[in-house]
Amino acid sequence: MKILAICGSLQQKSSNLSLLEHAIAAAPPGVEIQLYDGLRHLPQFNPDLERDAELPLVRDLRRALSSSAAVLIASPEYGHSLPGALKNAIDWLIGTGELERKIVAITAAVPAVERGQRGLKALADTLGAVSAQIVGGVPIARGPNFEREIGELVQALVAEARGALERGAD
């Protein structure tokens, strides 16, 4: 099973990127979590260009999502919402269906659990446009339980993705 991991932050030493690296390490046998690192390179969404085959970066994102059973997004909160680069990527996917009904775990690496909740709500609302099935949706505080909580989120995402695959095989 392949899971695509997307970091909503463009910072090289982002705590959300660190969260995804821990998730990759926590993947159970038979599960590959692949980090997508192309947000910073995507062009601004433009409906006139939406299906343009000359946009290889958009095509690569769409292919990565199409070949994944699920998605894991770790994203900071910017201005009580999701980062613009992440919203731009989702905008490129809304009209073409790669995220439609996809199982998506969302979280944020935060200094305290009361932080990041508005950004995750905005992300969940945006993913609602494609009827994504949200797993998690709560921030994970950096601290003594950080790695354990990441592992639990990965396990929940894998279980939901396996269940969806089994239901699809029926």
Apex 15 CA angle, 139 and 135, nearest 5: 35
User: By the 8 A CB rule, do 92 and 46 touch?
Assistant: no
Mean pLDDT of the chain: 94
Angstrom distance (rounded) from CA 165 to CA 15 = 31
Q: Look at residue 51 in the predicted model and tell me its pLDDT.
A: 64
* Beta bridge partner(s), residue 35: 5
Residue 141 above 80 pLDDT? yes
Task: Tell me the domains of the chain and their CATH numbers.
Answer: 2-169 (3.40.50.360)
Provide, rounded to the nearest whole percent, the portion of the chain with pLDDT above 90.
Answer: 88
Quickly state the pLDDT bin for 53 (edges 50, 70, 90): low
Residue 69 above 80 pLDDT? yes
Residue (of 30, 6, 39) closest to 105 by Cα position: 6
Q: Look at residue 168 in the predicted model and tell me its pLDDT.
A: 79
Q: Could you read off the pLDDT of 116-135 as tens digits, one per residue?
A: 999 999 999 999 999 999 99
Task: State mean pLDDT over 134-145.
Answer: 97
Residue (of 38, 97, 106, 116) closest to 72 by Cα position: 106
Task: State mean pLDDT over 30-55.
Answer: 89
Give the CA distances from residue 31 to residues 53, 78, 79, 150, 161, in Å, rounded to whole numbers and listed in that order.
Answer: 31, 31, 34, 15, 11
Task: State mean pLDDT over 107-120.
Answer: 95
Q: Look at residue 113 in the predicted model and tell me its pLDDT.
A: 87
Tell me which of 165 and 25 has the higher pLDDT: 25
- Give the end-to-end CA distance of the chain in Å, rounded to a whole number: 18
Angstrom distance (rounded) from CA 162 to CA 170 = 13
Quickly state the pLDDT bin for 138 (edges 50, 70, 90): very high
Residue 170 above 80 pLDDT? no
Q: Look at residue 50 in the predicted model and tell me its pLDDT.
A: 72
Task: State mean pLDDT over 72-90.
Answer: 97
Task: State mean pLDDT over 27-45.
Answer: 96
